[in-house]
A and B are shown apart, each in its own frame.
Chain A
């Protein structure tokens, strides 16, 4: 039986006065892969970045919950985002929540592989170090090995952990970033188009990896490629012009979309 990890309610983001995403509500299941699809600028990345409060760092971005204004017949943003995103039932936008601690639990992998200009070992060990997850050097070594193994990279790099992370190939770098993210001990891993900068073989390896990882982590992935969403995800949500159009089990959504816009998008008529 699947449980709900994130429960999102009427989430809205404005960039200064420009609307980034409006009135999105959805549930994201624990230990499943949820894919977010849609055309460029549809708000799917914005949504992803709300789940670990990365948008807090953009001064002009304002995350809030919206309400329906009967007079204007429109959704209007409220003053803050209290209650807009619940994680395991806890409000991650509550004033008492430290966004830094939240991001330890909700890790992130980015579009372009971005390893630190440090050794492979230090890349993976960074999270455990700042969060004090390892008491001794042995424990740290163990975490690094486990994370690299989970990311399917251990056998490839175990003899050159001291080499810079930037010396790896693109696909390896991205797996290093995944290893780095899971070494920090998260419950959720957010992936923002993780394969868009990779070749098909590297993409295949990472997709396989995601299948493994969902045993331990909740994964939310933004992807450009509908076939990728179809291959890897359990559930898929389709965004259009900043709004959530449809969300369903992946097979259901692709084979039998309820909405015409969804139908148009997955059949390649626009987007």
Chain B
């Protein structure tokens, strides 16, 4: 395998020097588009591209081979599957050699090779820009495809309109409830409950921080406190999860016990509080931008009428900056709904249909993790359900983001 990879690299290097030398012999009489360097780069670009394409073709073919088609000899299938990297690289090498020969015989003295090279490079860059589009297509395709298989097993109305979520029972096919316990309502309630708590924490804290930083704080205080919010944004969510599970949840339970209130050891409140801290930076940074975008003349108008600074902020600046702030809150909400680790570690796994923040609830993301962790048959309703939940999550966050960005953009255009 390494030998093959080595040969491909060697071919690329050799082709560069061969083309370079040959073009050198063609002499200096030609114009600048025929510089030897361009010939070398052109052939090496195509050799590498072709080996990539060869590898992609091989990988695609193996998808087919792995299904063990009857038209193929079983022995051949076994042989191919035994060493996939080797055969993939072999195909790469064939493609690369073909590319080398094609380029070698199609370029002559006088070929406008620089233009060809640059067109190739530009096309490769276009393909790179298309990766983002392909990713979106890939996400939608995989979600829709697997969710479709799920809805073949579980009717969509059973998924949407009922109250019970207990996917575990579906494994035991002898049970009565074998197929009828996938229902999003408890998850939706749990997700919304936790996100609501998180926003309850993040919106006031984030907004007041932003107001203070942009309106009151001296530049020195600003340079020292802004990193605080950046650090909050930079801490990995799994760390927040540890914090919620080990510190906040036990603390809430203990203080609940002290006051005679029963707080579940995995409560919506603990997860929501910590998530709220996590999304403070989303609210504050966009609010900060929005507040700073409000023109000075508006402020001066209000101050000139004898308003105090806080009155100006409350009556003039905040209303003017409101669209930007709302955009920030929507983005924060979308983060909260899509956040996984905090809720997995602190919110609980059981699906309670409740709005009591002191009880354990579960969310979309938690259930996706629960459904997919461990070794499962990929065809079971349990596994496929995760993708149905994924679609839900994808659409909700996409819509929230779309509106958030739209509001922010329109707000910015208004003051430009």
Contacts and interface: CB of A to CB of B under 8 A. Distances in A.
Interface of A: 98, 100-101, 104, 130-132, 135
B315 interface: no
A132 B40 CA distance: 14
Contact of A104 (B28, B32, B114, B115): B32
Contacts of A101: 31-33
A104 B31 CA distance: 11
B134 to A, nearest CB: 27
B185 to A, nearest CB: 53
A1 B258 CA distance: 108
B41 to A, nearest CB: 13
B112 interface: yes
7 contacts: A100-B32, A100-B33, A100-B114, A130-B32, A131-B32, A132-B35, A135-B28
A130 B115 CA distance: 14
Closest 8 CB pairs of A and B: A132-B35, A131-B32, A101-B32, A101-B31, A132-B32, A104-B32, A98-B33, A101-B33
B335 interface: no
Interface in B29-85: 31-33, 35-37
B36 to A, nearest CB: 8
Interface string B84-123: 0000000000000000000000000000101100000000
Contacts of A130: 32
Given A104-B32, A131-B32, A132-B32, A98 B37 contact: no
Contacts of B37: 132
B124 to A, nearest CB: 20
Contacts of B33: 98, 100-101
Contacts of A132: 28, 32, 35-37
Given A100-B114, A131-B32, A132-B28, 6 more contacts: A100-B33, A101-B31, A101-B32, A132-B32, A132-B35, A132-B36
A100 B33 CA distance: 9
Contacts of A135: 28
Interface residues of B, number: 10
A104 B32 CA distance: 9
Nearest to B118: A100
Contacts of B36: 132
A264 B330 CA distance: 63
Contacts of A100: 32-33, 114
Nearest to B114: A100
Contact of B112 (A98, A104, A131): A98
Contacts of A131: 32, 35
A124 to B, nearest CB: 18
Q: What is the predominant secondary structure among interface residues of chain A facing chain B?
A: helix
B23 to A, nearest CB: 10
B245 to A, nearest CB: 51
Interface in B344-362: none
A101 B33 CA distance: 8
A131 B36 CA distance: 11
B115 A98 contact: yes
A135 B24 CA distance: 10
A130 B112 CA distance: 15
A100 B34 CA distance: 13
| Residue with the highest number of chain A CB atoms closer than 10 Å, among B32, B33, B35, B114 | B32
Nearest to B35: A132
Nearest to A185: B32
A98 B31 CA distance: 11
Interface in B16-34: 28, 31-33
Contacts of B114: 100
A132 B28 CA distance: 9
A130 B38 CA distance: 10
Contacts of B35: 131-132
A263 to B, nearest CB: 45
A98 B30 CA distance: 14
B142 to A, nearest CB: 38
Contacts of B112: 98
Interface string B226-270: 000000000000000000000000000000000000000000000
Interface string B352-382: 0000000000000000000000000000000
Contacts of A98: 33, 112, 115
A218 to B, nearest CB: 20
A186 to B, nearest CB: 13
A130 B41 CA distance: 14
Interface string B270-312: 0000000000000000000000000000000000000000000
Nearest to A104: B32
A132 B39 CA distance: 13
| Residue with the highest number of chain B CB atoms closer than 10 Å, among A98, A131, A135 | A98
Contacts of A104: 32
A130 B35 CA distance: 9
A131 B114 CA distance: 11
A184 to B, nearest CB: 10
B156 to A, nearest CB: 49
A102 to B, nearest CB: 11
A164 B131 CA distance: 39
Interface in B314-359: none
B131 to A, nearest CB: 25
Nearest to A96: B112
Contacts of B28: 132, 135
Nearest to B38: A132
Interface in B121-150: none
A130 B37 CA distance: 10
A131 B38 CA distance: 11
Interface in B207-239: none
A195 to B, nearest CB: 31
A99 to B, nearest CB: 11
